Structure 1
Amino acid sequence: MGTGKAAKKTQMPVWPIFAWGVAAGVYASMPSGTWKWDVWFTYHPSAMMISFVALGASAALVKKRGGYENTKLHGTLMLASTLLAGIGWYAIYRNKELFGKPHLTSWHAWLGLAALGAYGLLFAVGLVALHPDIGVKKTSKVLRWWHKWGGRVATALAWVAAVVGFNNMHASDLVRQGLFASPLLVASYFSLL
């Protein structure tokens, strides 16, 4: 498994990051303090945080452990992540349509769309080229390197988009912004490096 700092990173339990991603997603979905089942917007931040933090970071941690089963679990988690991010995108798209608001008018929107597109592309490449059973380029070290670093960049984009979106909703509350962003900073050490 290795020694030193790299080995300790792979030993990070998945559940704290997963739990924080779910909790932060639900919390970010309640700008007024309550969940509103009939408001499309509430599904956007919860789906995106669960997708990109809970599932995406968990998939990265599982993959770092190595092995055949962990690689397949990584792919399954990333499929779930990508599909849930698509649901989150649809929720905000539908919300903007209902209120006649324009689409893609902020850094938050552009970063989020880039992350969603990258996750979709990375999943397709992982399935077709890198799947341990059927991947046509599963032994390519160059493609694996690009896939790994592309995933890290895509996840970093998603996390920046999440912080920007949260900060837009709570522009005057620096404490709340810090409480939201700090766990991502800690998780990035384990998931992205």
Structure 2
Amino acid sequence: MANLPESEPGIYGFGKVASGILTHVFCVVFTLLITVLAKPGSSLFSWHPFLMTLAFCLFMTEAVLLFSPHCSPVRKLSHKTKGRIHWILQCLCASCATLGLAAIIYNKHVSGKPHFTSWHGQVGLGTACVVGVQCLAALPLLNHSLAKGWSLARLKRYHAASGLVTYLLGSASLLLGTCSTWFIDAVGSQAWYLAALCPFFSTVVIMSQVSNTYMTKKRLVS
């Protein structure tokens, strides 16, 4: 029993590594699943689920996991380099989201259907807009001279908090998308639970990473 407190950090660390690796795997598998189901290029609508999943599931998640101390694929790179890769991935996310949004808007226009009448459509539109703003707001972190009068530490805290909100919106959009008639008919009611596990699990891992990082920095400052 005396060794129990010493073994807890090792078990805790192993759990963090395993969760991070599973998040990488789940996001890739979920993106591949949507790609197979949507068959991008087969119709105008097919580009919407493909591009949105690429944006909110793959690019956005990998952009955040870059900073994970447990499962970052570029852990040995400097923080500055990670920041630039993070921004590039987020710009790819914003680009894919914009194209995916344009695809569904034009598809509904051609079909004569109303726009943004569902929670999925409204949350997806809001998320795409927020991602674009988040990318622009991150520029002072890449070039601190653009934010005169603001400390770099404060900018990072605000960016992390707003980034977490953005990620939650993206995950909510994906979960609402899995509730669509198209997705349920494509995967079936039984497989739906496994498919919906991906955005839910990724959200829990990302929330844990961001909150733990913020709390650690807060303790160090205090």
TM-score category of the 2 structures, normalised to the smaller one: 0.7 to 0.9
Q: Distance in 2 between matches of 1:174 and 1:101?
A: 26
The residue that corresponds to 1:107 in the other structure is: 119
- Among candidates 160, 167, 177, match of residue 192 of structure 2: 177
RMSD of aligned C-alpha atoms? 2.7
Which SS does the other structure have where 1:25 is aligned?
A: helix
Residues 68 and 132 in structure 1, CA contact (< 8 A), matched pair in contact too: no
Q: Distance in 2 between matches of 1:124 and 1:150?
A: 12
- Among candidates 141, 148, 155, match of residue 167 of structure 2: 155
- Given the alignment of the two structures, is residue 136 of structure 1 paired with residue 147 of structure 2, yes or no? yes
**How far did residue 63 of structure 1 move?**
2.9
Instruction: Give per-residue Cα distances to partners, 1:140-178, cap 9 Å, x unaligned.
Output: 333322211211111211221112122122457432321
- Given the alignment of the two structures, is residue 96 of structure 1 paired with residue 108 of structure 2, yes or no? yes
Q: Distance in 1 between matches of 2:145 and 2:85?
A: 15
Residues 71 and 132 in structure 1, CA contact (< 8 A), matched pair in contact too: no
- Given the alignment of the two structures, is residue 191 of structure 1 paired with residue 203 of structure 2, yes or no? no
Q: Distance in 1 between matches of 2:206 and 2:153?
A: 20
Instruction: Give per-residue Cα distances to partners, 1:28-73, cap 9 Å, x unaligned.
Output: 52xxxxx262411100011000111100000000033571111111
**How far did residue 179 of structure 1 move?**
1.6
Change (3 A) 1:9 1:189: farther
The residue that corresponds to 2:29 in the other structure is: 20
Residues 108 and 164 in structure 1, CA contact (< 8 A), matched pair in contact too: yes
Structure 1: tracts of 5 or more residues without a match: 30-34
Change (3 A) 1:24 1:191: farther
Question: How many percent of aligned residue pairs carry the same amino acid?
Answer: 21
Residues 98 and 128 in structure 2, CA contact (< 8 A), matched pair in contact too: yes
Residues 27 and 198 in structure 2, CA contact (< 8 A), matched pair in contact too: no
**How far did residue 18 of structure 1 move?**
4.5
Amino acid at match of 1:186: F
Structure 2: tracts of 5 or more residues without a match: 1-8, 70-77, 209-222
Residues 25 and 45 in structure 1, CA contact (< 8 A), matched pair in contact too: yes
Residues 56 and 77 in structure 1, CA contact (< 8 A), matched pair in contact too: yes
